[in-house]
Amino acid sequence: MWLIRGSRGARPLRPAGGGWPGAVLFDRDGTLVHDVPYNGDPDLVVPVPGARWAVDALRAEGVALGVVTNQSGVGRGLLDRRAVLAVADRIERLLGPFDVWAVCPHAPADGCRCRKPAPGLVEGAAAELGVDPARAVVVGDRASDVEAAEAAGATGLLVRPGGPDLRAVVAGLVGRR
Ligand SMILES: [Mg+2]
Ligand SMILES: [Zn+2]
């Protein structure tokens, strides 16, 4: 697992303890940005509608933000770390800073503990943020995102075409705080 401290890492978060969730961990492809398979090109990054609003609303509440993303293109030899970081940099430029990025660079056959639906990315990101996984929410577009959340003791929420979109899911979270 690659654990990359986001560009907001130096900025102190509000003290944990107030409100739920303490952290929201977003899947990347198909959740924050449109899914371009094995994308390593920053120019192809396009946020989904409402993404900037969603992350800003959570930042305003003092919620720690992370990204938990499977990038099997690395394990398959289609991407390298530099490309993954270049895409992350573009996403932060478009959506603002995240506190941590947790990336699984393995191929499915590697049998690692971080590739979702395994819990490693969620556990690693929560630990890096100092947030109990029970106070973390994972937002994703696939069942494996929810399964990874639940395996880590966190809560998983799905965004779906025709179902709740990112804006609706995050509005629900903000409304509960
Ligand atoms: Mg996805
Ligand atoms: Zn992995």
**Is 29 a catalytic site residue?**
yes
CA of 57 to the centre of ligand 2 (A): 30
Nearest bound ligand to the CA of residue 75? 2
Q: pLDDT, tens digit, for every residue of 43-61?
A: 999 999 999 999 999 999 9
| Higher pLDDT among residues 8 and 142, named by residue | 142
**Is 27 a catalytic site residue?**
yes
The pLDDT assigned to 8 comes to 58
CA of 152 to the centre of ligand 2 (A): 15
The pLDDT assigned to 153 comes to 98
CA atoms within 13 A on the CB side of 15: 2
- Choose among 131, 176, 129: nearest CA to 153: 131
Supply 103's token pair: 């990336």
- Region of 144 (left: φ > 0; alpha: ψ -120 to 50; beta: rest) is alpha
Beta carbons of 69 and 76 less than 8 angstroms apart? no
Could you please state the CATH topology (level 3) that the domain comprising 2-8+20-135+152-176 is classified under. Answer: Rossmann fold (3.40.50)
**Torsion angle of the four alpha carbons 24, 142, 102, 25, in this order, in degrees rounded to the nearest 10:** 0
**Could you tell me the residue ranges of all domains in the chain?**
2-8+20-135+152-176
Interval 134-138 mean pLDDT? 97
